[in-house]
Structure 1
Amino acid sequence: MIKRYGSAVLIGVVALIHSALAQAGAIDDAVRRGVLKVGTTPTYVPFEMTDRQGRIVGFEIDLLGVMSQALGVELELVTVPYTELLPGLLANKFDLIGSGMTVTQERNLKLNFSDSFIVVGQTVLLHPSLAGKVSSIEDLDDASYRIATTEGTTGEAAAQRFLGAARLSRFATPEEGVHQVVIGAADAFIHDAPYNLIASSRAENRALLVLEQPFTFEPLAFGVKKGDFDSLNWINHFLNQVAQDGTYDRLHDKWFKDTAWLEDID
């Protein structure tokens, strides 16, 4: 009887250990593995992008680098199209999403978000022929205007919401969308403010007009699987730490105040 009882207890303990491991969060998995795997789409300047050496760099990438150092692990970036970020997370292809993702109610039904690490909004790049004709997003809500957006982004959602009367076109990357305005195939491009501000500074885009006032409020955050509260707790404390010790301000100034890095971007 005693032997049987002892065996039952042992089996129960093993089962509990396996259960605990199965429920471990993404951060715990990364520490155990020695690698933090992050899903990203490196087309969002200056958050994640590819330099001339083929390296993925940017403000959010630097934040993730500091995060991995704090965890004592290596950082592995898994590049996928933007529309494949959520499916990739759910399929365990990576531990978290770090790709300039805006927190929305619709997305929050499918994954959990950390605290926001920056707030941006949508702005407009205009063809120079619209100088004096368009001064706000409301002016573009007309069937005579052609609007370019990036597929799967909140820029696309904002265009659908605010510009229902206009003719919308979707492109795989923001660079393609901006180019449509440059060549006159579109009248305006809708995208996040940081990207549009930097895109307008490029030589090939300098003729474009910029409506700099954002017309939406969009917090960006890291995404993890629903129910992974241990990982959220660690990430949120990390974000608070770097905000307090000056790390965040240093990285922010590097990418948003100093534009020397533009010379290294392909």
Structure 2
Amino acid sequence: MKKLVILSLSLFSLPLYAAPEANLWSYWQQSNENNNAEISHQAWQEILTQYVSSQGENNLFAYRVVTTQDSDKLDDYLTKMASIDPRQYSKDEQYAYWVNLYNALTVDIILEEYPVSSITKLGGLFSFGPWDEEVITINGKHVTLNDIEHRILRPIWQDPRTHYAVNCASLGCPNLQQQAFTAKNTEQLLEKAAIGFINSNKGAQIKGNTLVVSSIYDWFGEDFSVDGGVRAHLNKYRPQLKSAPSKVDYEYDWSLNEKR
């Protein structure tokens, strides 16, 4: 995969992060619902099983102990994914494909530049992270992480739980799941991820007279309108928050989700 340039962004404050809007890339909207074939994510599952472990409310990745053999396995998996035309598969199969691809690419990016304290330290000149870097080519189309999340997953599926599925290699992010997504387990994993995140302190917690929630709900608040808004969405998965203070603040930890 493409090497990324490490750049110190100490001169820039984290609030400069501007969340991209959901802007459909219509090329990827096509699907073939008559195709019952499954895309194998076994190699990605083996990586997850070997290197992701749960510590407290975080799933952490053991970047520092990844073997050369497993790094090559990850590269081979990404090469295989790049050779697939996802439009020829069902939408359920496509969703799992894009989520796994996003997460595997993110891990690969970290491994290529490891050690690094935060994914926000990666990317081109004056970039806040690598999300706008072209990291893979599919069907001749150069694709970035932002393309996958904000031009494919969010606008096509319009499911706010996608924010709990894609992982940005940061402690403040919803956990990288220990299971690879498949067409069959996606609904189960999305519900598990939503429940886990919202019932964790990094998802929501009460501090004094303030409800402190993840900045995800600030950056992508409009995505949760399908559930009646952010507060209704939070209450759905954590009913105790119905009595939470009306004052809201936002927090996010960009530290690397690394197992030490």
Would the TM-score normalized by the shorter structure come out above 0.5? no
Per the shorter chain, which TM-score range?
under 0.3
Which entry has the higher C-alpha Rg, 1 or 2?
1
TM-score norm. by structure 1 comes to: 0.23
Q: Which has the higher strand share?
A: 1
